[in-house]
């Protein structure tokens, strides 16, 4: 029996046989070809490349159903397949030095990987995982090996790997994976996001994992404590199985809250809305369990293809969502790209600080036609439901006024063309501290607001939300976060205007009582969190929530706030 330690990133426990997943391709030997064979190897490389691009496109399309923002990873991987330098180097090695095709692929990627792995900048070194993933795909295709990742596991197992990338988990079935354990990865890694979205217990960042386990060995995982026990003794096995049973029962009990409405124990209605990022049926099926779409991230339309989505295509997509939600509001956020979300075919200038750069509404102001087309499509669709338009990355009243002008222009164009549309509410994301501080003034100019706590926290704490190195500085329980959120909620409540939260803090069951205590009555979140948040709300009274909020506002550090919220 041996105990290993890592970071528990998705709760739960499990006992089962380990399935060691590695990239499983044959590493080619250093080998050379005979004169006259060059063209055949070159042609083979081109054909493998083409198949890899098709495969990545397939994975991307299937991933779009789960998470459109993550689907962009596969566009980035397609770019790697097409990388100019790599595609000069591989043919040159085959033609000039008679390297065999497979060896040339392996070795040219290895050279790039060595450079990336040795870069101190974590943003660059993280890219190595994508290059590694692409090389594995190319070589698997080269050798005619399966490229299906974890989509065909025959029985429930504990998946162990160095790290899991989206291509490994596309098509993964929740009931075939008891837990995930990996060597690499932290709270913000791809693996963590995937585990959380599937609700699979996961322990990541376990040093020496793959040297400590054998294929098929029995392991016990406790993701609450971040521990993995190899070859557990019977009593340990029993203890972990009990834990897993308790976890599964609790999960079932929580799931029972899905169909209930959001209401506190003292009877106050709390609106529970849905964050979606596509018009996919899978996402829309939560319609009956929610009061509205609180955030429609529209980036999917722009990331799905290699060109800007035409007005008509957008119109049909929005219409489908509006019709599905009928009289329930659908809050459509206008295009929010830049920062972490790049669209390969749009020409972004390189920026030193993209999160402080041309993102969200700023990008749309510098590309007015893109925004105008989107607003026209949205307004045309407005007659099919209850549309609200939400503007991202708003910093000042100038931003609000400029955006409203464009909305008006789009409306005037439609009127001239004799196309009908409804009056729509216009609102803003509160995710930049500047606008949060003047939320009272903003509330005079808009109909509603939605708190984007993900960005608000990164800007308040000056910590890039994507950068693992500064993860400990990104403190969503920082006292300033709650104070500023209070300012925004009070301002909109005082003005009698709707305010909600659509960032991750709103689905954190520890933070929910504080937010309700601060006066928030509307939450929007991903489908996976709805049941748990409804359950938390059902055990609260407004009076208790207000006491909690008051106490939190008096605490000096994020750590003390989190500890206090864990105990109540
Ligand atoms: C946010 O910033 O909290 C938010 C909801 O928007 P996104 O995560 O898409 O930036
Ligand atoms: Mg945001």
Model confidence over 125-182: pLDDT tens digits? 667 878 888 998 899 899 887 766 787 788 999 999 988 876 677 677 888 999 999 9
Q: What is the pLDDT of residues 515-527, one digit of tens each?
A: 999 999 999 999 8
Q: Which of the residue ranges 86-90, 244-248, 444-448, 561-565 would you say has the lowest mean pLDDT?
A: 244-248
What distance in angstroms lies between residue 168's CA and the mean position of ligand 1's atoms?
26
Q: Which of the given ranges, 171-185, 197-211, 455-469, 488-502, has the highest pLDDT on average?
A: 488-502
Q: How confident is the model at residue 408 (pLDDT cuts 50, 70, 90)?
A: very high
* Cβ–ligand 1 contact at 431 (below 6 Å): yes
Q: Could you say which of 324, 364, 457, 502 is catalytic?
A: 502
Q: How confident is the model at residue 346 (pLDDT cuts 50, 70, 90)?
A: confident
What distance in angstroms lies between residue 285's CA and the mean position of ligand 1's atoms?
22
Can you give the pLDDT at residue 68? 60
Average pLDDT over residues 298-308: 83
486: tokens are 């209070």
551 is an active site residue: no
Average pLDDT over residues 241-258: 91
Q: For residue 363, with 0-12 CB atoms within 10 Å meaning exposed, 13-18 middle and 19 or more buried, which class applies?
A: buried
Can you give the pLDDT at residue 93? 95
Can you give the pLDDT at residue 177? 94
CA–CA distance from 515 to each of 182, 250, 273 (Å)?
A: 35, 24, 15
Can you give the pLDDT at residue 190? 65
Count of other CB atoms within 10 angstroms of residue 481: 22
333 vs 251, more confident: 333
pLDDT at 458 over 70: yes
CA dihedral 282, 301, 392, 523 (to 10 degrees): 0
Can you give the pLDDT at residue 187? 66
The rounded mean pLDDT for the chain is 91
Assess contact for 468 and 492: CB atoms under 8 A: no
Q: What percent of the chain has pLDDT over 70?
A: 95
41 is an active site residue: no
Q: Which residues pair with 10 in a beta bridge?
A: 202
Can you give the pLDDT at residue 53? 93
Can you give the pLDDT at residue 221? 96
Average pLDDT over residues 295-318: 90
Give me the phi and psi of 367, to 5 degrees please.
-135, 65
Q: Which of the given ranges, 60-64, 69-73, 262-266, has the highest pLDDT on average?
A: 262-266
pLDDT at 70 over 70: no
What distance in angstroms lies between residue 332's CA and the mean position of ligand 1's atoms?
13
Q: Could you say which of 5, 17, 190, 457 is catalytic?
A: 190
Q: Which of the residue ranges 151-155, 420-424, 485-489, 496-500 would you say has the lowest mean pLDDT?
A: 151-155
Between helix 68-81 and helix 190-198 the angle, nearest 10°, is 140
Can you give the pLDDT at residue 24? 62
Identify which of 408, 562, 406, 548 has the alpha carbon closest to the alpha carbon of residue 472: 562
Can you give the pLDDT at residue 238? 93
Assess contact for 199 and 52: CB atoms under 8 A: no
Helix (H) or strand (E) holding 34: none
Can you give the pLDDT at residue 64? 67
Planar angle of CA 459, 501, 436, nearest 5 degrees? 45
Q: What is the pLDDT of residues 539-565, one digit of tens each?
A: 999 999 999 999 999 999 999 999 999
Q: How confident is the model at residue 188 (pLDDT cuts 50, 70, 90)?
A: low
Which of the listed residues 67, 392, 505 should we mutate to test ligand 1's pocket, taking the one with most ligand atoms within 8 A of CB? Answer: 392
* Cβ–ligand 1 contact at 452 (below 6 Å): yes
Average pLDDT over residues 235-241: 92
What distance in angstroms lies between residue 393's CA and the mean position of ligand 1's atoms?
9
């Amino acid at each position: 029996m041996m105990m290993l330690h890592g970071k528990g990133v998705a709760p739960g426990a499990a006992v089962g046989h380990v399935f060691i997943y590695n990239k499983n391709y044959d590493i080619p030997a250093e080998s050379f070809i005979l004169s006259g064979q060059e063209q055949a190897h070159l042609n083979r490389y081109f054909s493998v490349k083409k198949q890899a691009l098709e495969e990545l496109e397939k994975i991307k399309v299937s991933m779009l159903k789960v998470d459109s923002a993550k689907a962009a990873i596969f566009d980035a991987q397609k770019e790697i397949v097409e990388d100019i330098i790599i595609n000069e180097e591989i043919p040159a090695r085959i033609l000039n030095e008679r390297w065999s095709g497979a060896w040339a692929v392996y070795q040219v990627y290895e050279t790039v990987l060595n450079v990336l792995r040795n870069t101190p900048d974590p943003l660059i070194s993280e890219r190595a995982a994508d290059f590694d993933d692409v090389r594995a795909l190319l070589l698997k295709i080269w050798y005619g090996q399966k490229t299906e990742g974890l989509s065909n596991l025959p029985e429930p197992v504990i998946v162990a790997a160095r790290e899991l990338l989206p291509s490994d988990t596309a098509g993964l079935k929740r009931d075939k994976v008891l837990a995930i354990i990996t060597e690499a990865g932290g709270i913000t890694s791809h693996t963590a996001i995937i585990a959380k979205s599937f609700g699979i217990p996961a322990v990541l960042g376990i040093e020496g994992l793959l040297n400590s386990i054998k294929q098929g060995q029995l392991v016990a995982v406790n993701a609450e404590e971040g521990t993995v026990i190899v070859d557990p003794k019977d009593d340990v096995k029993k203890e972990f199985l009990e834990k897993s049973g308790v976890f599964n029962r609790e999960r079932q009990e929580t799931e029972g809250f899905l169909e209930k409405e959001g209401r506190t124990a003292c009877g106050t209605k709390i609106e529970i809305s849905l964050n979606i990022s596509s018009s996919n049926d899978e996402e829309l099926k939560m319609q009956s369990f929610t009061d509205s779409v609180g955030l429609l991230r529209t980036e999917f339309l722009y990331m799905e293809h290699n060109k800007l989505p035409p007005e008509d295509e957008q119109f049909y997509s929005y219409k489908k969502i509006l019709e599905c939600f009928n009289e329930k509001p659908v809050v459509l956020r206008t295009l929010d790209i830049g920062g972490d979300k790049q669209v390969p075919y749009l020409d972004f200038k390189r920026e030193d600080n993209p999160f402080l750069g041309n993102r969200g509404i700023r990008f749309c102001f510098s590309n007015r036609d893109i925004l105008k087309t989107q607003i026209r499509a949205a307004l045309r669709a407005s007659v099919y439901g209850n549309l609200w338009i939400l503007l991202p990355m708003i910093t000042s009243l100038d931003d609000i006024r400029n955006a409203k002008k464009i909305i008006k222009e789009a409306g005037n164009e439609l009127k001239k063309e004799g196309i009908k549309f409804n009056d729509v509410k216009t609102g803003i994301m509160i995710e930049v501290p500047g606008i949060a501080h003047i939320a009272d003034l903003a509330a005079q100019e808009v109909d509603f607001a939605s708190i984007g706590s993900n960005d608000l926290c990164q800007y308040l704490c000056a910590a890039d939300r994507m950068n693992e190195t500064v993860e400990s500085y990104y403190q969503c329980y920082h006292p300033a976060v709650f104070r500023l959120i209070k300012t925004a909620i009070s301002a909109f409540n005082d003005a009698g205007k709707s305010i909600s939260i659509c960032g991750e803090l709103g689905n954190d069951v520890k933070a929910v009582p504080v937010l309700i205590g601060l006066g928030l009555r509307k939450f929007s979140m991903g489908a996976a969190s709805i049941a748990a948040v409804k359950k938390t709300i059902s055990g609260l009274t407004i009076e208790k929530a207000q006491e909690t909020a008051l106490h939190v506002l008096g605490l000096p550090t994020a750590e003390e706030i989190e500890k206090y919220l864990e105990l109540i």
